[in-house]
Structure 1
Amino acid sequence: MEEIRRVAEAYYKHLPEKDKKVLKNKFNAMDKNGDKQISRREYMEYFKKGKAKGFNQKRIFRALDKDKNRSLNFEEAKVLFYIMESGRAIICMSCKKFMAGAYFSCSQCFFSDGAKKSTFDICCDCYGGKKFTHHGDAIFCDNYTLLCQSRSSALAAPAETRSSALRAIEMIVGITNIAGSLGCIIM
């Protein structure tokens, strides 16, 4: 989780002031009693209203609560906002643990032609300990390897389809929103 905290802080530092203000407003919307802390109750109520699917897990809240005081201050909430925008809220399909770092995905599900709406992602402990069930011919790769394979495949594509393939990869890894906010060029 520390790595995600560092990434979130780096992204935040490069956000335009108007986007920082949007995040502060989101924080204030969650902080119903105005005490500059988001309690677990405030957090759960916010996400029960459908603000972002999958975030209403207590495990995510506990992972975000760096100082373990059972509430989120703005610094801790910045990590939440980064996770929401980047698509990094990935839960192990086996043990249901929030995965903050490396994880494994079924490559067939990852590269499917759209027949499936999600991938089959599992934490390192479940993969290493064979604590999961999935289709018998599944080939698993870690998330970094899948990203590298995706980019390599796109670059190997014919020139006329290469840019659309790279755009699809940007969407798959959830970078489009953050890159657009920061004015980054992905390549």
Structure 2
Amino acid sequence: MEEIHETAKAYYNNLTEDQKDGANNMFQSMDLNGDGSVSLSEYLEILGKKGYKLSNNPKFFTELDRDGDGNLDFEEFLSLYYLIRSERLLFCDGHGCGAFLKGVYFTCVHCFQREKNFDLCPSCFSGKNFLHNHATFLDNFALLHFMATAYSNNKREGASEAAVVGLDIAKFIVEITASTACSIM
């Protein structure tokens, strides 16, 4: 979680003044009693109202609370703000795992960028601790790399960006499976 805290701080430091005001306003809206911090009860109440059901739990609050004092000061809150604004607030879809996906995670290639992604923590993916209709998964870094490759190679006439990404991902999966005799699916 430390890396996310540092990333959130870096993003905040590079925001415009208007964007920083937006972060401050969100913090103040969560600080219901105006004491300069967000308590667990304030956190649960506000996130429940806003529909963030998976992050609306004491365990995740504890992860955000770096100093363990039971409250989120503004700097600790910035991690939550960053995760919400960047749409990086992801949790494992495995059998009730619900772990916050901090770093590397696996996503279903078929479901990617559809109505709902299907994402797994490394433990659920490795242990096959999930039920899902599709079998092709890539970790988030491999998926990002091949999306970038597809974008830069998008010189095939008439091919949509999505088709190019799909072809490149399929090519990657076939190459990995054939060359290593170890399936990532």
Q: Provide the residue aligned with 1:145 in structure 2.
A: 142
Q: Report the TM-score when normalising by structure 2.
A: 0.78
Q: Which runs of 5+ in 1 are unaligned?
A: 170-187
**Deviation, structure 1 residue 156:** 2.2
3-state SS of paired residue (2:110)? helix
**Deviation, structure 1 residue 40:** 0.9
Q: Once superposed, which parts of structure 1, at least 4 consecutive aligned residues long, lie more than 4 Å away?
A: 51-54, 159-162
Q: Check whether the contact 1:52–1:84 (CA below 8 A) recurs between aligned residues.
A: no
**How many residue pairs end up in the alignment?**
161
Q: Provide the residue aligned with 1:133 in structure 2.
A: 131
Q: Provide the residue aligned with 1:101 in structure 2.
A: 103
Q: Provide, for residues 21-49 of structure 1, a one-character-per-residue CA deviation record: whole Å limited to 9, x for no partner.
A: 22111111111111111011101111122
- Quote the RMSD (CA, aligned, Å): 2.3
**Deviation, structure 1 residue 97:** 0.9
Distance in 1 between the 2:157 and 2:58 partners? 46
**Deviation, structure 1 residue 57:** 3.1
Q: How does 1:36-185 map to 2 (within 5 A)?
A: 36-50=36-50, 52=52, 54-94=54-94, 95-110=97-112, 114=114, 117-135=115-133, 137-158=134-155, 165=161
Q: Provide, for residues 103-140 of structure 1, a one-character-per-residue CA deviation record: whole Å limited to 9, x for no partner.
A: 011112216xx4xx1111000111122222222x5111
Q: Provide the residue aligned with 1:19 in structure 2.
A: 19
**Deviation, structure 1 residue 100:** 1.2
Distance in 2 between the 1:145 and 1:158 partners? 21
Q: Which runs of 5+ in 2 are unaligned?
A: 166-185
Distance in 1 between the 2:17 and 2:83 partners? 19
Distance in 2 between the 1:50 and 1:28 partners? 15
Q: Quick check: which has more Rg, 1 or 2?
A: 2
Q: Check whether the contact 2:54–2:98 (CA below 8 A) recurs between aligned residues.
A: no
